[in-house]
Amino acid sequence: MSKPQLLITGDDEGLKLSAEEYAEADFQPPCKYERAQRRIIVLPPPGHYHHVITNHFRKYLGAYELTRPDVVEFVFQESWLRVGDDTDRHPDITVYLLANSPGEEIPARVPDIIFEVVSPGRPAHDRDYIAKRNDYETAGVQEYVIVDRFEHRVTVLRRDGEKFVESTLRETDDYTSLLLPGLQIPLQGIV
């Protein structure tokens, strides 16, 4: 007899799950569900401005992916990254460069660049600026971009050896990356 499918709902905040249980579970919309230190984190569904900001970056990155197949293999929205055995994250946007992890599949394959758009509230702020920063640094992400409309800035964390080095962009700046030669994303009106 087969085991019934586990359904995770908004009431399951803090539920302890193994990596296998998490991978096999069903998740009740509209919330998003991540796992940190084996415990479920229930995230509210993204709001209007979250989608507007994510869409702005996705359009530029998608166009770049089409014109530079020699650089970018994939640009995904709502991807999945497993960090060790204890944590599963679902970044807003991920960029996978060509042949940087041949043979690895998601969620084991580490994105080269991750974009997160900060949601309202202190828990969301701390999750993006502290917890996810640590997770993505540990996983080996090359660049982590935090888009924060509440603080009117974009924080870019670029890998230098084992650690991230931080820089800040403002509304009058453009986002560029050494990993994506020629890409320029204007921040005017986004932050």
Instruction: List the chain pLDDT tens, one digit each, 191 residues.
Output: 566 689 999 999 999 999 999 999 999 999 999 999 999 999 999 999 999 999 999 999 999 999 999 999 999 998 999 999 999 999 999 999 997 666 789 999 999 999 999 999 999 999 999 999 999 999 999 999 999 999 999 999 999 999 999 999 999 999 999 999 999 999 999 99
| Largest separation between any pair of C-alpha atoms in the chain | 61
List the domain boundaries for the chain: 7-43, 48-186
| Residue 148 token pair | 């924060």
Closest CA to 92 of 49, 123, 150, 63: 49
| pTM summary value | 0.95
Q: Distance between CA atoms of 30 and 32, rounded to whole angstroms?
A: 7
Domain boundaries 48-186, corresponding CATH code: 3.90.1570.10
Question: Phi/psi of residue 56, each to 5°?
Answer: -60, -50
